[in-house]
Structure 1
């Protein structure tokens, strides 16, 4: 984390924003929180059941942690005079009560003298949420002075306020599930501020629970889960949030955000994303809903950038012979940048170095030679030195006197045509390069303008998730290998105020320092209240750990983890995809790199994986390899539906093809087949047993799918899938058997060698008769080799 000076305020809990002062004509009167509605002509219908410790406000779940879509019944409130409640009336009243009223009441209970209007009303008459940040610590410090810290009765009083606020913010829907109120953007933001206020109060309560000696459990009435389940639970629907996300989604599109970024974000994330300033947004007009193409580069037109536009300083390079010398000895070539901005290659195994991960589209690449402008070398040297001091505040005596080295692909992977073999060697050593680095620093032009110490963790997560760096394939490998090297996190992001350590959570709570010195590591409950848990899960899916990919839990497939990680990433060279994935999985890259093109590399990749999810065989959509025996294999894993890799048994891939064990049917030769080799398989087929004459099942197309004509030819067969997912996808693969082989030694088992020619859906036979085709049923574990 960047060093935070003593006079700098704590990191904000939420990104601040301003909202209209809607209740200015009917402000909170300060005469009591609970009786405020009645004094101002409102009737509150929703009641907090308080039935079990872990039940959310207004909902009974028998004290279970299990979540359901139970909702609070409407109406939540009405007018005493019987007048209808309008959206604007409701928001105006709730702002007075649940913003100004909650802040006034909680501050009074804690003993904090808080001038609410002075702190929250800004010069233009609007309301700012900025001063909500830091309030949990201020309230806690005041409560400590009043000897109320950890007092159960005191905490119960505050929790009842939080729960009631959350209850009042429950989304109101009619019996047909349509929204009762339609809010303007400003009104949605006001409701958003009320939800944040409730979360701020709950964060304050957590500080009491974290105190030493506070050991009362959830079951006995207090604890972290009780606080969390009062504010944040699965399927909780906050009034106005869905409408706000719809509005800001359109706003983000108009601002030029990539649609692939927008589609990644949940409703809460969208609400905060629209508050961010992004002065360096690229042209995303050619991007899709999943893949961003704005960071693709073309070597023929690529221009290496200087630090400042207009700079014309000279380039300084590394002779390819020096890089080749290191790589030929299986060494990672590191570079020391001297005071005169000259480059010196070092090969010692234990020499300290910083590895850089960057996006070529930002201009730090060079496809022609291993050289960069002097201004860039100066910047890289300064970044490396600062990060090394940050990461190693107390360096060992052996490394204290050594100038720190660095590794950057532009400088350390040879690009000369005469060194192609050593370029491949450098790529093979990428795992070693990033795993052995003292730390890895991410460079992204958009992130480098962010003051990280002044940003909430949610904001930082949003910026990292939407950065150009996260959209590129090779950065996945670099980040993943760095994140678990030596069982410690080594991945930093260069921000304007210094390097930010990924997943390093330092809340900087000064109020707690006097209690238990606990100032690091955000707890799971805090992350949920800070709306950061979803962002962490998304970042974790796109930056999976090495352990997750190389040591799969039983029933998991590495393909599923890989899919989540690469789904939104692009590369200028498709042949790089299998190299990157194989490296992440710790596979031998030599067989991948030996492939002449992307198809051969993908074929080598599948053989290297050996165990392939059976769902790949049933995946209709993606383009497949054209080379035998891999005509079943998707050319791109990311083009497959995610369910392709989830929950299905694996089959075996080797140089002969894809080996599966499934039941099926062999078509009996027909008179039509003998005389008309161009006959087309009907759209609906009853499979009739050649032995008994009974109907064994019906094959059919679905109208929504584009018909792939299947010729009724010799040796036609059907492989039938039986699993939980067969209702969502075609359950029958139509194949042509091209050969049979005897396998498994003396067992005399027959394997059908075949190729897939189409897919159909399989139904039970209790339907009106269709066109019949005689078939022979195979064994339920018939062996097939798909080529």
Structure 2
């Protein structure tokens, strides 16, 4: 891993032993498997014994360097030491030779060192090869043949690694030793991403998703949150997850047993009665570890008049102003003064995570030590941004009144203005302020992108709306725009260390802060919102409707006035016009008349996993349902309801000879075929677009009422006479037969035949064939309820 930078405090990466085996023949990546006697397809399928026809000579040559140790190998170790050296040499030597165009020797990729047992061993080193790769970027960028050939090798290698990694769960152990698998995946992904950057647009990403299960499971055993593991692996790749594991940030005492791969709930605040503000000993003389900091003798008790301050804030928010705060200090006490904002007012909006202890569910008050800390942070930031400005700030803990509800709602309604008008938004989280600002830009951005700030729902809008965003460390804040610029400068540097982990990390924040652009359409805004809400969590699920309204610029009053369980429904009603792509979105929906089309939660992983497709169409949210036109639709005349839950319906689209198949989408709350029986009449299929061969598209089944079949399928102008009122039935996926369709069907579960034998899926007749469906004019207006 020595082609990646190191975090502060580490002198070298963990050494990864070379896996000794048959030496590389320097005849190129392509065909190396055949030349070495391997059937790589059988190997990828898990048939390790059948992947070679000759084992004795190969195993003797491969295990020679292990000496007497081989007699103690168990089955797992034998597999690893026979298969893994072949894969290691194929990828390291084969890809390096193909990338650089010359022979690669063992001395190019390894070095020797005496291990802890006093034995001389070889370890992998790839920084020299990566350094040459980086130095020749301009030459490679001009090589048209290289553009064509090298990406294909990277794609093949990535899918091989992905298939072998997928065998981990089946075999109960990795085929390739974990540290070696991390090196191979990291090298492959790093070479590919650099090639894409240097040679854009000649090279695009067609690789397999990167994953090393060994690393995932190792971090989970160390107490890491499963959401954090999955998010960092997807966003930063295995090499980024490895780098993050070196930072030792997982020691905040939180238990992640209740967290899932889609959301971290460890930082939810569920017991408000037990909530206590944290104490910052750097700004207080109280050193009593058992002190509650609310007794008269404690220097850190809240001594100023909280009610008087809160009343001034209530008056300010009810008059439509933004209340701001400025601290004053004397020998005896710390005070806060309220100032109303005015046009051009300079102030800092504080963004924090309540579980860190800077909230207060009991009163709108803050301990003096925290006021001192915030005053220090705001002053330091203004010194960099606006020298001479008063250290004025806004903090929700004080500036959003707890009572009465009218004042609280008024303060929340103004939040969009609070963050957009602020000179800067300053992010303060315990996992960042507990450490000095790192000396390298990569470590700084990776620490930011894995902080809890990026996990929480409310902090999303605070980052999106900021005109300037800064992150506070122990004694310094860093401006994100400056950090982003510095990280991207490092990508193009010629060096033996890749800066791509830092670059990918910046995208996690940049995707957030670019959500609100002046050129963003309503459709762009919804899609960005869908993308950025991934993996976020909140203590109150109903808050998603509030945050969604703020970010989408909706009238907040109806949502705030609604009961918690009704807020999402009111959110959709408040939209009035929505991008039609929402209609095709996945995830659970309301089981309510007029609202069956509406997603029930943005935070459900089925919903946010895939943003709605862009259609360029708009739908209207009216009292009786969702109204739209311009959609592809067929009347499924006389189609029988499938009898088996995994059954498919096959059809042809008009004169198109292609056969299409629809399958119920496997989503939470999406009904089964049998549950549709009471509504299975006059069924129509609406789809986003017909898929290409081997692909799939989104579709929705509806049951219409109110018109006869002749009027339903009438062409203009008669088609414009009646709105087609239809009940939402279910989401479906539509597949075009051909291409990968046979492989897709073959992957379905098997079923028992008449004699109790397991039959392959394609041998079972579970496809319902309707008569040729009738096309419905795209000009028809639909109302889906």
Which one is further off, 557-566 or 755-764?
755-764
Structure 1 residues 446 and 77: alpha-carbon distance in aligned structure 2, compared to 1, 3 A threshold: farther
**Equivalent residue of 2:482, what SS?**
coil
5+ residue gaps, structure 1, are 1-9, 27-39, 48-57, 59-70, 103-115, 141-148, 204-217, 509-518, 671-678, 689-695
Answering whether residue 644 of structure 2 is matched by residue 654 of structure 1, we say no
Aligned to 1:257: 224
5+ residue gaps, structure 2, are 38-56, 64-79, 97-109, 168-173, 282-288, 294-299, 652-657, 738-764
Deviations 1:735-777 (A, max 9, x none): 4559999xx9999621023332445678999x99979899987
- Aligned pair count reads 628
Aligned to 1:444: 429
**Equivalent residue of 1:18, what SS?**
coil
Q: What is the distance in 2 between the residues matched to 1:719 and 1:170?
A: 38
Aligned to 2:340: 347
* Paired residues for 1:393-408 under 5 Å: 395=387, 400=388, 403-408=390-395
Whether the 8 Å contact between 2:650 and 2:662 is mirrored in structure 1 is no
Q: CA deviation at 1:568?
A: 1.1
Aligned to 1:631: 596
Q: CA deviation at 1:664?
A: 5.0
Q: What is the distance in 2 between the residues matched to 1:236 and 1:759?
A: 29
If each structure's helix is expressed as a fraction of its own residues, which one has the higher value? 2
Q: 2:533 aligned to 566, 569, 574, which one?
A: 566
Q: 1:732 aligned to 681, 698, 701, which one?
A: 701
Q: 2:405 aligned to 402, 420, 423, which one?
A: 420
Q: 2:26 aligned to 26, 45, 51, which one?
A: 45
Aligned to 1:540: 510
Answering whether residue 274 of structure 2 is matched by residue 301 of structure 1, we say yes
Q: CA deviation at 1:594?
A: 3.6
Aligned to 1:530: 500
Whether the 8 Å contact between 2:698 and 2:732 is mirrored in structure 1 is no
Structure 1 residues 780 and 384: alpha-carbon distance in aligned structure 2, compared to 1, 3 A threshold: closer
Structure 1 residues 302 and 607: alpha-carbon distance in aligned structure 2, compared to 1, 3 A threshold: same
Whether the 8 Å contact between 2:314 and 2:401 is mirrored in structure 1 is yes
Structure 1 residues 18 and 324: alpha-carbon distance in aligned structure 2, compared to 1, 3 A threshold: same
Q: CA deviation at 1:437?
A: 1.8
Aligned to 1:749: 721
* Paired residues for 1:767-786 under 5 Å: 778-786=776-784
Which one is further off, 749-758 or 188-197?
188-197
Q: What is the distance in 2 between the residues matched to 1:570 and 1:451?
A: 27
Aligned to 2:319: 329
Q: Normalising by structure 2, report the TM-score.
A: 0.64
Whether the 8 Å contact between 1:731 and 1:762 is mirrored in structure 2 is no
Q: CA deviation at 1:492?
A: 1.2
Q: What is the distance in 2 between the residues matched to 1:21 and 1:727?
A: 42
Q: CA deviation at 1:414?
A: 0.7
Q: CA deviation at 1:225?
A: 2.7
* Paired residues for 1:152-231 under 5 Å: 183-187=176-180, 225=198
Q: What is the distance in 1 between the residues matched to 2:736 and 2:121?
A: 66
Q: CA deviation at 1:631?
A: 3.1
Q: What is the distance in 2 between the residues matched to 1:745 and 1:333?
A: 58
Whether the 8 Å contact between 2:433 and 2:473 is mirrored in structure 1 is yes
**Equivalent residue of 1:652, what SS?**
strand
Q: CA deviation at 1:723?
A: 1.0
Structure 1 residues 525 and 236: alpha-carbon distance in aligned structure 2, compared to 1, 3 A threshold: farther
Aligned to 2:259: 287
Which one is further off, 420-429 or 525-534?
525-534
Aligned to 2:66: none
Q: CA deviation at 1:563?
A: 1.2
* Paired residues for 1:96-175 under 5 Å: none
Q: What is the distance in 1 between the residues matched to 2:433 and 2:427?
A: 10
Q: What is the distance in 1 between the residues matched to 2:18 and 2:727?
A: 71
Deviations 1:340-370 (A, max 9, x none): 3101001142443221111111111111211
Aligned to 2:654: none
Q: What is the distance in 2 between the residues matched to 1:275 and 1:565?
A: 26
Q: What is the distance in 2 between the residues matched to 1:23 and 1:745?
A: 74
Q: CA deviation at 1:468?
A: 1.6
Answering whether residue 248 of structure 2 is matched by residue 277 of structure 1, we say yes
Structure 1 residues 452 and 434: alpha-carbon distance in aligned structure 2, compared to 1, 3 A threshold: same
Deviations 1:487-508 (A, max 9, x none): xxx2111112411222423898
Let me know the Cα RMSD of the aligned residues.
Answer: 5.9
Q: What is the distance in 1 between the residues matched to 2:341 and 2:560?
A: 27
Which one is further off, 726-735 or 360-369?
726-735
Aligned to 2:477: 499
Whether the 8 Å contact between 2:441 and 2:483 is mirrored in structure 1 is no
Q: CA deviation at 1:636?
A: 1.0
Higher RCO (CA 8 Å, separation ≥ 6 residues): 1
Aligned to 1:67: none
Q: What is the distance in 2 between the residues matched to 1:568 and 1:701?
A: 28
Structure 1 residues 583 and 524: alpha-carbon distance in aligned structure 2, compared to 1, 3 A threshold: farther
**Equivalent residue of 1:441, what SS?**
strand
Whether the 8 Å contact between 2:186 and 2:238 is mirrored in structure 1 is no
Whether the 8 Å contact between 1:754 and 1:785 is mirrored in structure 2 is yes
Structure 1 residues 195 and 762: alpha-carbon distance in aligned structure 2, compared to 1, 3 A threshold: closer
Whether the 8 Å contact between 1:248 and 1:274 is mirrored in structure 2 is no
